[in-house]
Amino acid sequence: MKNEIVELFNKIVSARHGIALTGAGVSTLSGIRDFRGKNGLYKDMDAEKIFDIDYFDQDPSFYYKAAGSFIYNLHEKQASVVHTTLGILENKGFLKALITQNIDLLHQKGGSRRVIEIHGSPAIHYCRYCGRPSEKVMDFDAVAALVNAGEVPRCAHCNRVLKPGITFFGESLPAKALADAESEARRADLMLVLGTSLTVYPAASIPQLTLRSGGEIVIVNDMETPLDRYASLRFTDLGEVFEGLAELLRAS
């Protein structure tokens, strides 16, 4: 095993307040394509159009048709060694929080409980118009069944198309999630930055809060990031790193 992975393990278990920030790259081992990576969705899909709030307002059915193949089949996807190892690290008290840009719900499948979803979540879908809270929410499984049958979810009261709780381009990030993420980043003496290119703001600025507060960051990503030179350790292969961490956890 590489000495650097052992060094990373020692950093994690000795951290006072260790946290993680994850991006789409952590889910590629589960068969979910990332956005900006070497084989990302941006290569052959207009992801910005799919997740554009103005376009959703014009034609919400476009989102459900385009996103059906990679959002509403998530129940078929399994947590990878990255997700499960992060869950174990939290369960053992080595990670205090996990901040994610992802909308695939795999961290919860992997056993993480303190998950801060700064780009929202498809776990719920809601009506933006009728203002009836008891009738405007539909959970992921119910929506997925409709979408996979070629339908779109509609409000039980006003019949308008429901919107997923995902933050679209043109919308503000969830205020509480962002505040919680920034608070955790300032408290952290160690942040694992995993599978993110650190190019989408304001999420990309979160590791800088840890650095400014005197903490250190470790980056694992298959492409360069703007913060590479500030990382105390830098890796490119998430699978190799987390297989190594999982082995060390089993032996400890």
Measured in whole angstroms, how far is the alpha carbon of residue 193 from the centre of its chain? 11
Task: Say what the pLDDT of residue 50 is.
Answer: 87
Amino acid at 208: Q
Handedness of CA 219, 174, 166, 55 (dihedral sign): negative
Q: In CATH terms, is domain 38-76+121-166 a member of 3.30.565.10?
A: no
Measured in whole angstroms, how far is the alpha carbon of residue 187 from the centre of its chain? 20
Asked, as a colleague might, if the bond just before 226 is cis with ω within 30 of 0, I would say no
Task: Say what the pLDDT of residue 36 is.
Answer: 52
Task: Say what the pLDDT of residue 45 is.
Answer: 55
Is 70 exceeded by the pLDDT of residue 9?
yes
Contacts of 84 (CB under 8 A, 6+ apart): 110, 111, 246
Task: Say what the pLDDT of residue 35 is.
Answer: 58
Task: Say what the pLDDT of residue 38 is.
Answer: 53
Distance CA 138, CA 66 (A): 20
Other beta carbons less than 10 A from residue 142's beta carbon: 12
Percent of the chain with pLDDT over 90: 71
pLDDT in tens, 191-247: 999 999 998 888 889 999 999 999 999 999 999 999 999 999 999 999 999 999 999
Is 60 exceeded by the pLDDT of residue 37?
no
pLDDT in tens, 42-75: 455 566 788 899 999 999 999 998 887 778 888 7
Give this prediction's pTM: 0.90
pLDDT band at 91; cut points 50, 70, 90: very high
Domain borders along the chain are 1-32+79-119+173-252, 38-76+121-166
**Two structure tokens written together for 27:** 């889910």
Task: Say what the pLDDT of residue 223 is.
Answer: 92
Place of tokens 């360069």: 224
Average pLDDT over residues 5-21: 98
Contacts of 33 (CB under 8 A, 6+ apart): 24, 39, 40, 41, 70
Is 90 exceeded by the pLDDT of residue 134?
no
Task: Say what the pLDDT of residue 33 is.
Answer: 63
Task: Give me the CATH topology for the region 1-32+79-119+173-252.
Answer: Rossmann fold (3.40.50)
User: Does this chain's domain 1-32+79-119+173-252 share its CATH topology with 38-76+121-166?
Assistant: no
The set of catalytic residues is 119
Contact 186, 207 (CB under 8 A): no
pLDDT band at 6; cut points 50, 70, 90: very high
Task: Say what the pLDDT of residue 48 is.
Answer: 72
Task: Say what the pLDDT of residue 69 is.
Answer: 74
DSSP codes joined into one string, the chain: --HHHHHHHHHHHH-SSEEEEE-GGGGGGGT---SSSTT-GGGTS-HHHHTBHHHHHH-HHHHHHHHTTTTTTGGG----HHHHHHHHHHHTTS-SEEEE---S-HHHHTT--SEEETTEEEEEEE-SSS--TTTSEEEHHHHHHHHHTT---B-TTT-PBPEEEEPPBTSPPPHHHHHHHHHHHHH-SEEEEES--S-STTGGGHHHHHHHTT-EEEEE-SS--TTGGG-SEEES-HHHHHHHHHHHHHH-
Distance CA 91, CA 114 (A): 10
Q: Please state, rounded to an integer, the average pLDDT across all residues of the chain.
A: 90
Is 60 exceeded by the pLDDT of residue 34?
no
Is 90 exceeded by the pLDDT of residue 131?
no
